[in-house]
Structure 1
Amino acid sequence: MSCSSSLILPSISSNGFRRFSPLKLDKSRVFMSSISVGSRIAAVDDALFTDYKPTNAFLFPGQGAQAVGMGAEAQKVPAAAELYKRANEIMGFDLLDICINGPKEKLDSTVLSQPAIYVTSLAAVEILRAREGGQQIIDSVDVTCGLSLGEYTALAFTGAFSFEDGLKLVKLRGEAMQDAADAAKSAMVSIIGLDSEKVQKLCDAANEEVDEANKVQIANFLCPGNYAVSGGVKGIEAVEAKAKSFKARMTVRLAVAGAFHTSFMNPAVSRLEAALGATEIRTPRIPVISNVDAQPHADPDTIKKILASQVTSPVQWETTMKTLLSKGLKKSYELGPGKVIAGIVKRMDRGAEIENIGA
């Protein structure tokens, strides 16, 4: 079984959520967080969650998981339906209508797919909460992460920021990434059937034939046999032309705006930094594994820096999943549209238990 060839880029009320008991801080690793000016802020140890022991995980999808019709199921659950109403006010148009009715081309755009997936994934949490035993499942979750965009969803789930603040960030993120993509001719392609070392050699071979503006790199370490490469269009074309000689099973050009998770996205970083700087971010109540370094972070300022650098950094999803599984993860839940993450998890461990909660 192989995982999907699609690229996945990437406050619910905390009432009823189980909270971690206070942990002792290693003062050698403590530094001050500056969320507000003029008030004394408790020191936050960024290594608070380093020794986490995962049991049950919530996994949130990213760009590429969207599909026309998503959100329809959420309308049967008042708390889930309410999220779309709140989203419409922030977006300034009927996001739910686009989710349910499309058109597909509009929903697939970076500026719309990212907020649509964010809202639909958090609506899936409310669908789960409403079913018998759902709150118990939510209470049992002790680690979470999301694929690129999904990292924002995971942070909202843990109370690191409000639903509204998260949606505003995701909206801006989608717009900034679209603008950065429009500024240069770039693209992405999935390489199917090679390990990461061979994909790197394929990239090296392609880079020998193009100028600096068209260089390529691995941008998304999804799972064994599926890696996404980003870069200039000529570099991507060189990758596609050489892939068979490297014994790749196939290549799939991705329907995205441009070379995500590379330096092509540099113009988006300053806009994200400004928005994140103006957003209140709190320590997550459970570990949220970062796409940048496959580690959990507790310090709000560190989380802000990680999120700003995430758009230009390769997605370390393969390492994240391997780490969770090696640490003894028992069950995962994929919340939101699509079943791509389930395919990745099963690719890495056929015996892994994972359940999809759609909306």
Structure 2
Amino acid sequence: MKAFFVFSGQGAQTVGMGKDLAEAFPEAKALFDEADAVLGYEQSSIIFNGPAEKLTESRYCQPAIYTMSCAALAAFKTRYPDVTPVGCAGLSLGEYGALYAGGAFTFAEGLRLLAQRAELMDKACRATSGGMASVLGGDAEIIKEVCAACEIDVANFNSPGQIVISGEKVKLAKAVEELKARGMRKIIVLNVAGAFHSRLMKPAGEALEKVLEESPVAMPRIPVYHNFTAAPAADVAQLRANLAAQVAGSVRWEECVRNMVAAGGDTMIEFGPGNVLTGLLRRTLPEVRGLNVNSAETLRNIEL
């Protein structure tokens, strides 16, 4: 088996996520406790007890998903300490979990970085009126053409037949109507705080670039496939640049997955809440095995 590790993105959060992992694995609980100390507030209480409205806010949600995903990885390592992935990747904020798994920074260093990213994105959301929509079964070239004409952006290339678009709400609505006029009927307007991975996030990306310059980041020991390029960075400078550009750039998730499989990966293991990435894998490469570690029960049921 040649596994590749992937990490959940925003939207997968649920109140209570990871609580059973913290109760069953001291290694997982240690990360929840460390996160509380690093952030200066009881993040674990928000994760385990809610309220859901608070957990959904980007400034709480992004560090929470990172912590829960890293805790799931820590629990996994207690059962399978010898499994070394051939590559790692994460969806949007999940890229920070992938970089932690790859050894680019410590858990605390990644958490501090992500907390600042979340604050900057939250600020950008409040300063604009943005939204996102998922287009199902549409032609990628037509979607890109319509987005360009309506002055919005493609946020995510998730899998064959699933593309997310993002931008100002008025322009997004115009694009949705144009796509429907071109025969794309399955379009879901998403309940999100803003236009993530669009030009509206550019101020957040530029501010994050300055934060990254002063943050400890090393080249990972394991290849990490970046959202912005769908490939590992050549050096630390490019790694930092990728993380900054990712905030306003398209998430090339389908390419990331295909490239990790092309590099030899035959089993994808998803860490974090939910199973969104495993579902995307089934639509992209159904012949590749996909596993989840999102609870103590899923970990107990895994057979490698």
Q: Distance in 2 between matches of 1:176 and 1:299?
A: 25
Gaps of 5+ in 2: 296-304
Give the alignment's TM-score, normalised by structure 2.
0.92
Contact 2:103 2:222 in 1 (8 A): no
The one of 50, 60, 69 equivalent to 1:102 is 50
Contact 1:287 1:298 in 2 (8 A): no
- Secondary structure of the residue aligned to 1:189 is strand
Q: Comparing both structures, which one devotes a greater share of its residues to helix?
A: 2
Aligned AA for 1:74? L
Task: Write out aligned runs for 1:162-201 (5 A).
Answer: 162-201=106-145
Q: Distance in 2 between matches of 1:252 and 1:119?
A: 29
**1:250-302 CA distances to partner (integer Å, 9 max, x unpaired)?**
22222222111122112112321222111111110010001111110141122
Instruction: Report how far residue 148 of structure 1 moved.
Output: 1.0
Contact 1:195 1:224 in 2 (8 A): no
Partner of 1:6: none
Aligned AA for 1:145? A
Aligned AA for 1:181? C
Instruction: Report how far residue 240 of structure 1 moved.
Output: 2.6
Q: Distance in 2 between matches of 1:274 and 1:287?
A: 24
Partner of 1:112: 60
| Correspondence 1:266 to 2:214 | no
Q: Distance in 2 between matches of 1:274 and 1:238?
A: 35
| Correspondence 1:296 to 2:244 | no
| Correspondence 1:74 to 2:21 | yes
| Correspondence 1:84 to 2:32 | yes
Contact 2:17 2:273 in 1 (8 A): yes
Contact 1:243 1:250 in 2 (8 A): no
Aligned AA for 1:109? E
Partner of 1:135: 81
Q: Distance in 1 between matches of 2:242 and 2:277?
A: 22
| Correspondence 1:346 to 2:282 | yes
| Correspondence 1:240 to 2:176 | yes
Contact 1:60 1:121 in 2 (8 A): yes
Aligned AA for 1:162? T
The one of 12, 35, 38 equivalent to 1:65 is 12
Give the alignment's TM-score, normalised by structure 1.
0.78
**1:208-228 CA distances to partner (integer Å, 9 max, x unpaired)?**
xxxxxxx21211111111111
- Provide the aligned C-alpha RMSD in A: 1.6
- After TM superposition, what 4+ stretches of structure 1 lie above 3 angstroms from structure 2? none
Contact 2:86 2:264 in 1 (8 A): no
**1:33-81 CA distances to partner (integer Å, 9 max, x unpaired)?**
xxxxxxxxxxxxxxxxxxxxx9320011111111111021221210100
Q: Distance in 2 between matches of 1:203 and 1:266?
A: 17
| Correspondence 1:336 to 2:272 | yes
Bigger Rg over Cα: 1
Partner of 2:301: none
In structure 2, the CA distance between the partners of 1:232 and 1:192, relative to structure 1 (3 Å rule), is same
Instruction: Report how far residue 249 of structure 1 moved.
Output: 3.8
Gaps of 5+ in 1: 1-53, 208-214
